[in-house]
Structure 1
Amino acid sequence: MTDLIDAVLSGATGGELDSLHLPDTYRAAYLRREDDDMFGDDPEPDVRRSLRVGPVPMPEPAPDEVVVAVMASAINFNTVWSALFQPMSTFRFLERFGRQDRWAARHDRDHQVVGSDASGIVVRAGAGVRRWSPGDRVVVSPAYIDTDDPRASQDGMVADQKAWGFETNFGGLADFTVVKASQLLPKPRHLTWEESAANTLCAMTAYRMLVGPHGARMKQGDVVLIWGAAGGLGAYAVQMVRNGGGIPVGVVSSEQKAELLRRLGCEVVLDRRDFAGGPDGWSDPRARKGMGREIRRRTGEDPHIVFEHSGRETFDASVFLARTGGTVVTCGSSSGYRHTYDNRYLWMNLKRVVGSHGANHAEAAEVTRLFDLGMLVPALSAVYPLEEVGGATRAVQRGEHTGKVAVRCLAPREGLGVDDPDARLRVGEDRLSLFRKF
């Protein structure tokens, strides 16, 4: 413990926090450059071998940055990729970034602190920071955007941007993180630290994919097929489709997850095992045709939008299942990056594929507002202490979780951080804790 951490945990004022020195080192979950070939041709690499927890040096904050005392963070699939050093070592990202200027050079180290979600308290603000001060309670958006890039005025995600804690250093799985002030948003006042930390990357990504002007532009009445609907991305997609007057069709892999989706309000739930149980999976035309028939039977139509993030395993089926003139919107490839599909179904039926990545600051702010209004609820299913970050990441690697897995960093126990208990009561504990029950 340090004086600054003691002050954070005791509820010190912003002025008191600002008067205390930043520690020389802090506790973090990190990877080592020297380990980046440790898995070799291992057919079953285990992220618990590469993820370490221990002290790392505190970097000097840039004038446009803040230091946040991290109360909680969360695991995303990019943490799994980082810890596997696949499809490439993220230290290559840091090397390239480090050549940019003297502030970027701080990121190119022999260790990388990972993690792309966080909630916490600002403890230091750079000289160029205007909107944030020590003591502010915040969540961190994962989009690390160069706001001097002219393209950022149009859309930050097509400017020079990086995924914080994946393509940058000083990520959120730590007691402190150093981020751009433009990544901060107010923490939803009725949520706990771990509930707030579980939302930023996945909910904001789903919003851009479905709702924002750069994605599929979902409208009322749209049938939306959602792969992995009980996972982090899928659970937020289901809520957004329902909120927007669409018809979510959730795909899951167990009856337990199906029941969770029904309680979330997804009336049309499909068990993928009913269609792709054979050795060829979704490459078998009978599997995707069978799912198409079932979607039409349950909704009366083919999907207007397919919410795609699985990649190689499902992409062929996604292109096939989207209706004529429909859209496949994709933000990732957790089952593999090299996709094959029958292009006739794309071009002859005038379908389109939309690539989507993260969310710009305006989109991120809209998502935070939806949580404030209680229109979105966290998909938090489990919480680990930082010391067990390897086990938390392993659970995500193996697909053993539902929704999101959070990690307590400085928060001494679960359930802390609620600033508006009346708002929490209005939203309802049953809704807020739904994923914890599964």
Structure 2
Amino acid sequence: MENPASSSALLDAARSGADGSELLDIDLPSTFRAVYTLKDEVGVFEGQDDKDVRRSLHVGDVAMPELAPDEVVVAVMAAAINFNTVWSAIFEPVPTFAFLEKFGRQGWYGARHDLPYHILGSDAAGVVVRTGDGVKKWKPGDHVVISPSYVDEEDHGSYDDGMMSETQLAWGFETNFGALGEFCIAKANQLIRKPAHLTWEEAGSNTLCAATAYRMLVGRHGARMKQGDVVLIWGATGGLGSYATQLVRNGGGIPVAVVSSEEKAALTRAQGCEHIINRSELNLGDQGFRHPKAGRVLGEAIRNLVGEDPGIVFEYLGRETFGTSVYVAKRGGTVITCGSSTGYKHEYDNRFLWMRLKSILGSHGFNYNEAVEVNRLISLGMIHPTLSAVFPMEEAGQATRAVQTNQHVGKVAVLCGATKEGEGVTDQALRDRIGETRLNLFRR
């Protein structure tokens, strides 16, 4: 798949592997192409059942903002579509311009973000081309991926856990100048060394979902999975579920994957997951997992596979599954939740929570250390990308539509500065040792 070449000399140089001094010799462009929503289109979907994101996502030229001392400009080679891009594009649950307006009241650095357009995207891989005066660790020419956790170092809460900071934001969702453009603006403390054996599109599609799953399952702020734990994973071939399955297996847990088709069951099986439940075979009718007997049916299916109830339920679907999740968790078990893609108003029978001493644990995003740790696992070849499709930037609307309508597995990437797929590998030997089959499992 080809991506139309940019006229930007700086982007061309970054693409071709120019060193830092060469990049600094080339002027930063005053404009660049990006994917954005428009403030004056808020409300365009009112009263409509199908809120087609292709109507609200635009590709065009935007202005290069002024750089703050703790920031960098990255030439984005590839980015990924996450569900927060879908929320942004349908202006729900609130229009993201409300976030930009709030941020805009925090001095000149915030005011830069309060614009009539919002450049979206929370996952990216690319090349650093400029650094602010206060940046010490990073330099032009560095190959990086970007953590979407946007943390204020002056907030005391961030020193215990970045996610406990009251001012923590999701980059490209609650801030402007996100991943889906030829260039992006990020804070230096968002940067992570790019896994050298991955292509740009592979590297740019991991961090948000992989690190979210890491925090939920492995990190000290989540369910703290241990060896032998049975973990029920909803949507095991989705962006979050596909990394959760790998993390559970690597950590000595026992994943039980819920999927919606035999095709997805085969994909999960190829990941090494032995215990799989195809929800279409549970005969729950139109109500699905909101059926009054769904918990009993699913619980029996889990026990038939592994002989016991799950100690951890990996939950991010929300309304459609949450009541069942609470029911099937074992006595003293944990339902850990990071989202509600099917709706955020949940119903569950509280008797099964308090009388069986279960816990519901909220998990949101991840801190910088967790993002670095999961990328270390990726760099070691222990966790692999789950990329299934790649689109050129001009088709970012279609890429987001695929995620909106669940017509995908794993992750969906967008080429921004890269002209074609397969670029960016700097450790071919490691890639050869891992093998293309494992790296491209979700693209078969």
Query: TM-score, normalising length from structure 1?
Result: 0.99
Say whether the 8 Å CA contact 1:276–1:282 is kept in structure 2. no
1:41 corresponds to which letter in structure 2?
G
Residue in structure 2 matched with residue 254 of structure 1 by the alignment: 261
Residue in structure 1 matched with residue 59 of structure 2 by the alignment: 53
2:246 corresponds to which letter in structure 1?
Q
Question: In 1, distance between residues paired with 2:39 and 2:392?
Answer: 24
Residue in structure 1 matched with residue 161 of structure 2 by the alignment: 155
Does residue 10 (structure 1) correspond to residue 16 (structure 2)? The answer is yes
1:267 corresponds to which letter in structure 2?
E
Shift of 1:277: 3.6
Does residue 21 (structure 1) correspond to residue 31 (structure 2)? The answer is no
Say whether the 8 Å CA contact 1:175–1:409 is kept in structure 2. yes
- Out of 248, 252, 261, the residue aligned to residue 245 of structure 1 is 252
Question: In 2, distance between residues paired with 1:54 and 1:374?
Answer: 37
- Out of 322, 334, 358, the residue aligned to residue 315 of structure 1 is 322
Does residue 191 (structure 1) correspond to residue 198 (structure 2)? The answer is yes
Question: In 2, distance between residues paired with 1:275 and 1:322?
Answer: 18
Question: In 1, distance between residues paired with 2:384 and 2:8?
Answer: 34
1:127 corresponds to which letter in structure 2?
D
Residue in structure 1 matched with residue 362 of structure 2 by the alignment: 355
Shift of 1:310: 0.3
Say whether the 8 Å CA contact 1:276–1:287 is kept in structure 2. no
Say whether the 8 Å CA contact 2:15–2:77 is kept in structure 1. no
What do the CA deviations read for 1:148-203 (whole angstroms, capped 9, x no partner)?
11111100001121000001100101100000000000000000000001101000
Question: In 2, distance between residues paired with 1:337 and 1:325?
Answer: 24
Residue in structure 2 matched with residue 398 of structure 1 by the alignment: 405
Does residue 100 (structure 1) correspond to residue 144 (structure 2)? The answer is no
- Out of 334, 337, 354, the residue aligned to residue 341 of structure 2 is 334
2:121 corresponds to which letter in structure 1?
G
Compared with structure 1, are the counterparts of its residues 21 and 276 closer, same or farther at alpha carbon in structure 2 (3 Å cutoff)? farther
| 3-state SS of 1:415 partner | coil
2:352 corresponds to which letter in structure 1?
Y
2:299 corresponds to which letter in structure 1?
G
What does residue range 2-401 of structure 1 map to in structure 2 within 5 Å?
A: 2-159=8-165, 160-275=167-282, 277-401=284-408
Shift of 1:20: 1.8
Question: In 2, distance between residues paired with 1:37 and 1:247?
Answer: 45
Question: In 1, distance between residues paired with 2:283 and 2:404?
Answer: 21
Shift of 1:8: 1.4
Shift of 1:280: 2.1
2:315 corresponds to which letter in structure 1?
E
Say whether the 8 Å CA contact 2:284–2:291 is kept in structure 1. no
Structure 2 stretches lacking a partner, 5+ long? 1-6
Question: In 2, distance between residues paired with 1:205 and 1:218?
Answer: 14
Question: In 1, distance between residues paired with 2:293 and 2:347?
Answer: 17
2:155 corresponds to which letter in structure 1?
D
1:118 corresponds to which letter in structure 2?
A
Question: In 2, distance between residues paired with 1:3 and 1:307?
Answer: 46
Question: In 1, distance between residues paired with 2:203 and 2:64?
Answer: 24
Question: In 1, distance between residues paired with 2:52 and 2:107?
Answer: 35
| 3-state SS of 2:442 partner | helix
Residue in structure 1 matched with residue 4 of structure 2 by the alignment: none
Question: In 1, distance between residues paired with 2:157 and 2:80?
Answer: 30
Compared with structure 1, are the counterparts of its residues 213 and 30 closer, same or farther at alpha carbon in structure 2 (3 Å cutoff)? same
Shift of 1:279: 2.3
Say whether the 8 Å CA contact 1:141–1:201 is kept in structure 2. yes
| 3-state SS of 1:89 partner | coil
What does residue range 408-419 of structure 1 map to in structure 2 within 5 Å?
A: 408-419=415-426
| 3-state SS of 2:158 partner | helix
Report the more deviating stretch, 394-403 or 7-16: 7-16
What do the CA deviations read for 1:55-109 (whole angstroms, capped 9, x no partner)?
0111111000000000000000000000000111000011111111210111110
Identity across matched positions, percent: 61
Question: In 1, distance between residues paired with 2:432 and 2:306?
Answer: 34
Structure 1 stretches lacking a partner, 5+ long? none
Shift of 1:276: 5.5
1:423 corresponds to which letter in structure 2?
L
CA RMSD between the two structures? 0.8
| 3-state SS of 1:354 partner | strand
Say whether the 8 Å CA contact 1:275–1:288 is kept in structure 2. no
- Out of 411, 414, 422, the residue aligned to residue 429 of structure 2 is 422
1:57 corresponds to which letter in structure 2?
A
Query: TM-score, normalising length from structure 2?
Result: 0.97
Residue in structure 2 matched with residue 436 of structure 1 by the alignment: 443
1:66 corresponds to which letter in structure 2?
V
| 3-state SS of 2:303 partner | helix
